């Protein structure tokens, strides 16, 4: 199988998710950070730009499954805050829904995971 998706590079190989037969990860294309989703059953991929409004400088991200949806946790490093969004429709940037903003939190450097409806930090603290 050969994919014909033009991506410049894979980003954060440890930040991926699997939900309902679809694998999700981040990749860069044309200097934009995107969520790439590959449906294993019909071998179709979708590229969805991440919701980076307000993220103009140093930021990190984590792809997670949150409450049955694909989610991205954006970590604004300088502002010490997090933005949690879920994706409504694969391939449609406008379908990202921001659930909440957290911060500023000086004691938490980055989220590492989500479970049910909570986000956890590397310090094993529940963030929301």
Total of domains in the chain = 1
The pTM (predicted TM-score) of the whole model is 0.74
Per-residue pLDDT, 38 = 92
For the cut 50, the answer to whether the pLDDT of residue 124 exceeds it is no
Mind listing the pLDDT tens digit for each residue in 26-36?
887 777 788 99
Rg, Å, the chain Cα set: 14
Q: Distance between CA 67 and CA 28 in Å, rounded? A: 26
Q: In terms of residue numbers, what domain contains 72?
A: 9-121
Average pLDDT (115-127) is: 51
Q: Is residue 126 part of a domain?
A: no
Q: Is residue 4 part of a domain?
A: no
Three-point CA angle 22, 8, 3, nearest 5°: 45
Q: Distance between CA 120 and CA 112 in Å, rounded? A: 6
The token pair that represents 7 in the structure block: 């991506």
Distance of CA 63 to the CA centre of its chain: 3
Q: Is residue 1 part of a domain?
A: no
Mind listing the pLDDT tens digit for each residue in 46-88?
999 988 776 656 777 888 888 899 998 888 777 777 888 999 9
Q: Is residue 116 part of a domain?
A: yes
For the cut 60, the answer to whether the pLDDT of residue 13 exceeds it is no
Q: Is residue 60 part of a domain?
A: yes
């Amino acid at each position: 199988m050969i994919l014909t998706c033009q991506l410049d590079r894979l980003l954060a190989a440890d930040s991926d998710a699997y939900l309902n037969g679809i694998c999700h990860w981040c990749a860069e294309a044309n200097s934009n950070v995107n969520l790439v989703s590959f449906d294993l059953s019909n071998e179709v991929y979708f590229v969805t730009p991440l919701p980076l409004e307000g993220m103009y400088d140093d930021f990190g991200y984590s792809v997670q499954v949150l409450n049955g949806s694909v989610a991205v946790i954006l970590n604004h490093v300088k502002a010490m805050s997090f933005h949690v969004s879920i994706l409504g429709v694969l391939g449609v940037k406008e379908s990202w829904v921001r659930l909440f903003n957290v911060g500023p939190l000086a004691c938490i450097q980055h989220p590492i995971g989500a479970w049910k409806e909570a986000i956890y930090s590397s310090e094993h603290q529940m963030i929301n």
